[in-house]
């Protein structure tokens, strides 16, 4: 696998052209996580992660790579995100039938590949699942752009020769580019549908952590985040799998106070949709929820998904306006984006006006992360 990965990476260089759905079980698991990590250790994990990234607000997370410009999750998209200067490059991870970790947003292949043409008889109820195919079979597919319309500025459908990549190839690519360019771009790995994987005899969380350790990612200060929508799995990763890496609990909608307090015992950050922060626009101004302030009170930083320069929320005039509302008024400390260069330009502009006072600046003097009160609570 390593030799194959190196060959594909060489070719690339040459051709650089959800939710807490069951409250009681989660509370039990959260208590286990709290018992497994001492208060001092838990505070230190959050503090070191936050401190290391405090001068980069908003943190720029390349959503599925530079997916606004190239087909999502391809090595080409990851390479371009690195070149644009993203702080972190996202990898959604799914396992194949033979246990290989591949970088895909869905557990099915229909939306972004030609699987229906290549393997018409391998689908189930019209869907072709990654864990029904071997790595060799997945490799044979052609990847295409997901978002297409007559007005689309995205990469043309049917153009180029793109393949599904493995997580190992993405790691090799990013580490290689870090070395050759003197930079330190990070990984932002999502474990996709872990329960469905386990029903097929697969364990993506354990496989991901093993691969990350192989490449030197195992401490709370390493340049990687692990994210998942499954609250039970996040707790398992922290406790049973003894993961010390920064963890992110994802939500598909605005989390409740109880969910945030429970998450604060286990993870370092939460990932929430734009709509959970910006609930609407009225008379040209933003209507903002209090979710980020509540997250800060639980010692959680907030990364918001997803900024798309070509698909802005209703009522938003441009990306600059949206980012000002999310970051300066809303308090987000990280932005998932299909267009990393746009968010980087915004960050450079606001930094010229003076630095943001840390990722918890919304607390404005209230007891918060790093305070004596917080240390005793954690």
Within a domain: residue 114? no
- In the residue annotation, 200 being an active-site residue is answered as no
Within a domain: residue 271? yes
Q: What whole-number distance in Å separates Cα of residue 378 and Cα of residue 373?
A: 9
Q: What is the mean pLDDT of residues 313-326?
A: 98
With 70 as the cut, is the pLDDT of residue 364 above it? no
Give the CA distances from residue 235 to residues 53, 114, 172, 301, 376, in Å, rounded to whole numbers and listed in that order: 24, 36, 28, 18, 21
Q: Tell me how long the chain is.
A: 378
With 90 as the cut, is the pLDDT of residue 14 above it? no
Tokens of 57: 């607000």
Q: What is the mean pLDDT of residues 312-319?
A: 97
- If one counts the domains in the chain, the total is 1
Give the CA distances from residue 204 to residues 98, 125, 156, 287, 336, in Å, rounded to whole numbers and listed in that order: 12, 24, 32, 39, 23
More confident residue, 151 or 107: 107
With 80 as the cut, is the pLDDT of residue 92 above it? yes
With 50 as the cut, is the pLDDT of residue 9 above it? no
Phi/psi-derived region of residue 364, left when phi > 0, alpha when psi is between -120 and 50, beta in every other case? left
Cβ-based neighbour number of residue 351 at 10 Å: 13
pLDDT band at 284 (very low <50, low <70, confident <90, very high): very high
Tokens of 295: 């997250």
pLDDT band at 2 (very low <50, low <70, confident <90, very high): very low
Looking at 63, 128, 197, 296, which residue is catalytic? 63
| pLDDT, tens digit (0-9, with 9 covering 90-100), for 150-200 | 667 899 887 889 999 999 999 999 999 999 999 999 999 999 999 999 999
Give the CA distances from residue 279 to residues 123, 130, 272, 287, 330, in Å, rounded to whole numbers and listed in that order: 39, 35, 12, 6, 11
Residue 246: predicted pLDDT = 95
Within a domain: residue 146? no
CATH number (domain holding residue 279): 3.20.20.190
| pLDDT, tens digit (0-9, with 9 covering 90-100), for 322-334 | 999 999 999 999 9
With 60 as the cut, is the pLDDT of residue 253 above it? yes
- In the residue annotation, 105 being an active-site residue is answered as yes
More confident residue, 235 or 378: 235
Q: What is the mean pLDDT of residues 314-320?
A: 97
pLDDT band at 24 (very low <50, low <70, confident <90, very high): very low
pLDDT band at 38 (very low <50, low <70, confident <90, very high): very low
Tokens of 10: 């060489």
Residue 20: predicted pLDDT = 30
Kindly report the pTM of this predicted structure: 0.85
Q: What is the mean pLDDT of residues 104-108?
A: 98
- The DSSP bridge pattern shows strands 224-228 and 247-250 to be parallel
Looking at 73, 82, 105, 339, which residue is catalytic? 105
Q: Are 304 and 313 in contact (CB under 8 A)?
A: no
Within a domain: residue 142? no
Cβ-based neighbour number of residue 229 at 10 Å: 18
- Domain encompassing residue 260: 2-106+166-377
Provide the mean pLDDT of the chain: 86
Within a domain: residue 62? yes
pLDDT band at 376 (very low <50, low <70, confident <90, very high): very low
Output 344-347 pairs: Cβ under 8 A, ≥24 positions apart.
344/60, 344/84, 344/85, 344/86, 346/58, 346/319, 346/320, 347/56, 347/57, 347/58, 347/60
Q: Which residues of 83-107 are buried (b: 16+ CB within 10 A; e: fewer)?
A: bbbbbbbbbbbbbbbeebbbbbbbb
Tokens of 42: 């838990």
Q: What is the mean pLDDT of residues 197-222?
A: 97
Within a domain: residue 191? yes
Please count the CA atoms within 13 angstroms of the CA of 372 that sit on its side-chain side: 0
Residue 304: predicted pLDDT = 98
Residue 377: predicted pLDDT = 32
Within a domain: residue 324? yes
Within a domain: residue 151? no
């Amino acid at each position: 696998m390593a030799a194959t990965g190196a060959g594909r990476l060489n070719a690339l260089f040459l051709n650089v052209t959800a939710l807490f759905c069951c409250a009681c079980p989660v509370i039990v698991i959260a208590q286990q996580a709290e018992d497994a990590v001492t208060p001092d250790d838990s505070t230190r994990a959050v503090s070191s992660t936050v401190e290391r990234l405090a001068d980069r607000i908003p943190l720029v997370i390349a959503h599925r790579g530079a997916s606004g410009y190239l087909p999502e999750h391809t090595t080409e998209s990851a390479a371009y995100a690195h070149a644009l200067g993203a702080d972190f490059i996202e990898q959604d991870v799914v396992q194949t039938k033979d246990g290989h970790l591949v970088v895909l947003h869905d557990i099915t292949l229909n939306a972004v590949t030609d699987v229906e043409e290549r393997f018409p008889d391998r689908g189930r109820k019209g869907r072709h699942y990654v864990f029904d195919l071997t790595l060799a079979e997945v490799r044979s597919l052609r990847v295409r752009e997901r978002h297409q319309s007559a007005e689309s500025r995205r990469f043309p459908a049917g153009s180029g020769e793109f393949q599904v990549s493995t997580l190992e190839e993405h790691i090799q690519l990013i580490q290689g580019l870090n070395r050759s360019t003197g930079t330190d771009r990070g990984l932002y790995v999502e474990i996709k549908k872990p329960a469905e994987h386990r029903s097929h005899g697969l364990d993506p969380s354990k496989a991901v952590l093993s691969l990350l350790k192989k490449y030197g990612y195992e401490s709370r200060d390493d340049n990687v985040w692990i994210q998942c929508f499954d609250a039970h799995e996040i707790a398992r990763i922290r406790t049973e799998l003894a993961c010390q890496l920064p963890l992110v609990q994802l939500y598909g909608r605005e989390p409740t106070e109880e969910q945030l307090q429970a998450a604060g015992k286990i993870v370092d950050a939460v990932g929430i949709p734009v709509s959970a922060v910006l609930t609407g626009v009225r008379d040209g101004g933003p209507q903002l929820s209090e979710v980020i302030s509540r997250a800060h009170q639980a010692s959680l930083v907030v990364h918001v998904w997803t900024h798309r320069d070509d698909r802005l929320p209703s009522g938003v005039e441009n990306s600059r306006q949206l980012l000002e509302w999310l970051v300066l008024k809303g308090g987000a400390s990280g932005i998932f984006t299909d267009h990393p260069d746009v968010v980087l330009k915004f960050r450079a502009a606001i930094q010229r006006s003076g630095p943001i006072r840390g990722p918890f600046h919304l607390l404005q003097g209230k007891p918060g992360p790093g305070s004596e009160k917080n240390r005793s609570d954690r």
